[in-house]
Chains A and B, each alone.
Chain A
């Protein structure tokens, strides 16, 4: 397998992991909205908290994490751009 193919496989797997996390925070937890709302976080009902703030924050964190991880994959395979590009 060429370096390019190996790189693309890793990138693809990384994409899938990211989308699984995305799917969990955007859709899965809201399938159980009424159940979650019986629990509380910071004094808020949990499902309310997640839709008002929690999932939004999770997306921000996922995006920074996924960008950093992808940069590492770039470096490993020598496809990293120079900083001054």
Chain B
């Protein structure tokens, strides 16, 4: 079924699948009308979609190295774009992005620009050349271009730190969603999530992950866009929110003036007993903060996210799977188009959600109403029980002020349909979408790590004579180990000490960006330069993170340091990457230029036609 004509039949197959999923949504809506409980609908949504992914994973099983590592290099341009979009948009993007915009407004949206602008760097500097190279993994490129096991091992090390930081957060997200949708404890949810992730990737490697990611993209984009459009027409925002919310954004500005943007003191928040992780609105939605430092904060965050995007191995390796160099280029454009569909909707959802809570003229508005009245609302009660929303009457007037309403960012996506009075079937759909987003990213990451370990460390360094069967066995065993390690850490809720997903971008940027770019664009870059650059970049980045992040610096030196030039723990790549560049250039110029063979290799990499540098391995 997955041979020969399969690729030609893809539009038909996924078209049928999309139709089937829409029919399933309608069936669930009918079931809801017939009296099936909200909880059971949630269970059915998650169970049904995960079973489909598992089926795809099983059907895509393979015993070929080429299929396992790069999906046989036959993934068509547009489908690879969808798979990349699913690979890229994590559980955090799906459930937390709109919440971030809701609380952070303009300032937070530096993330949106950063997480999309990075693809311009991927397309111009990296993807087509790595595709031409014909490598299986990102360290495979570095190891071959610069030559030698040490530089290969260094690249694997950076990949491991960056991807592992990211993957625990994803497994954590699958656990959270599985536990909420299925009504099981979080610790169990994490393992249910892990098993779902492994079923999709273990038997078929990259091939299975590709085809499940396409299926997951379809689910997650429907689950995100349907509620946004529905809520928008329901609250009078217009049928096409992206073009029609100008008045609503202006109205939010007026309401902010009316209610006042008040900052609560940390002591007040503590005294009121606000649960951890809950936030309140204290900044403007569309206003630009004044001052040079505010501008620098915005720009520096955008730079880190863009350069980090262009260095994340689980994204770069998606472009190894296209049939040609030109389709790799086009595929980057399609990826960004599919990402754009969701990212451009997040601010719209945040606007609608904010307005429906803040506008006293709307029936859903709660700010400015009496607290007892708000507390009697059904959705407020339900989300209070699980400590996702909280009311603290700081001034004791019995009226809910803007700064007295606390909420978790995730609630924006998970509860807005309910608040706006949409049927529960939409909430079930949103759970399925969140699960799809978290699973697809976790799959890509776990595969990136285990492929690098099995191909670059085991096959290239430890046992180059291993046969196909043994290599794939090692790859699968490592996949299970990495996944289990991630789930183990997530189940202990240790993710809070691992910090933010933004760190993954900073790590990748510190250690991989310049070795990858200069590998293609500067023939003079040498092995010694690359080794020194990677070590200096990741070393200085890591050291700066320990120095600047209060939790770490307090534990190590017992002090809290003021960030240098406003470069805080979200932006430490701005220290690592420049150091990597300088060290790499200086050491390269001090050492003997690369051999003619290597220079010829770089020349060949730059031209789309001709044989790949590395063929079937």
Contacts and interface: CB of A to CB of B under 8 A. Distances in A.
Interface in A3-39: 4, 7-8, 11, 15, 18-19, 22, 25-27, 30-31, 33-34, 36-37
A49 to B, nearest CB: 9
B125 A15 contact: yes
A25 B123 CA distance: 16
Interface of A is mostly: helix
A81 B325 contact: yes
A51 B333 contact: no
B119 A51 contact: no
A26 B617 CA distance: 39
B298 interface: yes
A44 B245 contact: yes
Given A34-B290, A48-B106, A81-B609, A40 B246 contact: yes
A1 interface: no
B249 A44 contact: yes
Interface in B325-340: 325-326, 329-330, 332-333, 336-337, 340
Contact of A27 (B288, B302, B323, B340): B302
B120 A64 contact: no
Interface in B233-266: 242-247, 249-250
Contact of B607 (A7, A25, A43): A7
Nearest to B242: A53
Interface string B305-347: 0100000000000000001111001101100110010011001
Given A37-B288, A56-B112, A57-B340, A85 B298 contact: no
B242 to A, nearest CB: 6
Contacts of A18: 120, 124
A81 B344 CA distance: 34
A33 B344 contact: no
A26 B113 CA distance: 6
Contacts of B106: 33, 47-48, 51
Interface in B516-539: none
Given A26-B302, A51-B112, A74-B608, A81 B249 contact: no
Interface of A: 4, 7-8, 11, 15, 18-19, 22, 25-27, 30-31, 33-34, 36-37, 40, 42-45, 47-48, 51-53, 55-57, 59-60, 62-64, 66-67, 70-71, 74, 79-81, 85
Give 3 closest A-B pairs by Cβ, nearest first.
A43-B246, A63-B333, A33-B288
Given A4-B607, A42-B243, 9 more contacts: A19-B121, A22-B121, A26-B120, A47-B106, A59-B116, A63-B333, A66-B329, A70-B128, A79-B607
Interface of B: 101, 106, 109-110, 112-114, 116-117, 119-121, 123-125, 128, 242-247, 249-250, 285-288, 290, 295, 298-299, 302-303, 306, 323-326, 329-330, 332-333, 336-337, 340, 343-344, 347-348, 603, 606-609
